Amino acid sequence: MKNRNEQVPVPGLKRGVAVLRLLEDGHPARLEDLAARSGLPRASLLRLLETLAAMGLVVRDPGSKRYRGLARVMPLSDGTASWRAVLAGVLARLAEATGQTAEWYEPSSEGLVLTERAESALGQVHVRARVGFLRTWTEELESVACIGWAFHQPADSALPAFWEWSAKGKQAKIPPKVAARRVAQARQSRFRMETNYNHNGVRRMAVAVLQKGKLRGVLALAQCFTPDADRQTARRREALTSEATFLEQAGGP
């Protein structure tokens, strides 16, 4: 058997895969941190990151100047790959059944990361959030964040000063007691939906997907405004919760 450390035909490819693996947990990292962990010169590392970003595998936040991976490297025989295939099927079915955008968020130290999504071929595409989008723990308390606080954060955690979109399309502060009540309700029902639409004309409903009592992720529907949206709520919620139950029964790594 060949030693993995011996010379390979394309060393640059090997280094690129190694960098991608450093970022595949979804946690943002600075260039300096990646250089220290990889042992690569910063100039070489920067070129690799720029290449991975051009391929849609890595994204750089211009504000924090941190990099975050948008893909994972795994063997096809890995249980994670099988579960990801199940997840892709769930999102596709959910999008087609509802005519809306189906989303999958996974918890990280900084918030909930949108790692997978699917859009209906018949639906109107107005949802701007793309794979790699970070829903932070400390800003807007919309449906996805509320589920995250209910199941990923310790129950006795102090809630930050949240805001939400008002009926007039303005950012409005949420009183601490109201925020705490919403998180408690989400913990009880495992479901949350916004009343108002955001500035892009989108509101979400979300449900927790648990595995061994812990939050595996948040399954959500990003709903664009339509005149009959409220009449569709019950049907969409049923489809969303049914697919969440299917994901839990499918298990995973």
**Domains of the chain: total:** 2
- The answer on pLDDT for 4 being more than 50 is no
Mean pLDDT, rounded, for 109-127? 80
Q: What is the pLDDT of residue 236?
A: 94
Residue finishing a domain among 69, 97, 116? 69
What are the C-alpha distances in Å from 165 to residues 14, 56, 248?
46, 31, 31
In-domain check, residue 4: no
Q: What is the residue range of 24's domain? A: 11-69
Percent of the chain past pLDDT 90, that is, above it, reads 51
Most confident of 28-32, 58-62, 74-78, 213-217: 213-217
d(CA 164, CA 128): 18
d(CA 108, CA 96): 28
CATH value at residue 25:
1.10.10.10
Average of per-residue pLDDT values in the chain: 87
Q: Which residues sit opposite 66 in a β-bridge? A: 30, 61
Q: Are residues 155 and 184 in the same domain?
A: yes
Q: What is the pLDDT of residue 177?
A: 94
Q: Are residues 17 and 94 in the same domain?
A: no
Q: Are residues 208 and 245 in the same domain?
A: yes
194 with 204: CB under 8 angstroms? yes
Lowest-pLDDT choice from 97-111, 112-126, 144-158, 216-230: 112-126
Q: What is the pLDDT of residue 229?
A: 87
In-domain check, residue 2: no
- The answer on pLDDT for 34 being more than 50 is yes
Query: What global pTM score does this model have?
Result: 0.69
Q: Is the dihedral of CA 87, 90, 95, 101 positive or negative?
A: negative
Q: Is the dihedral of CA 160, 165, 171, 176 positive or negative?
A: negative
Q: Are residues 97 and 171 in the same domain?
A: yes
In-domain check, residue 153: yes
CATH value at residue 86:
3.30.450.40
2: pLDDT confidence band, cut at 50, 70 and 90?
A: very low
In-domain check, residue 171: yes
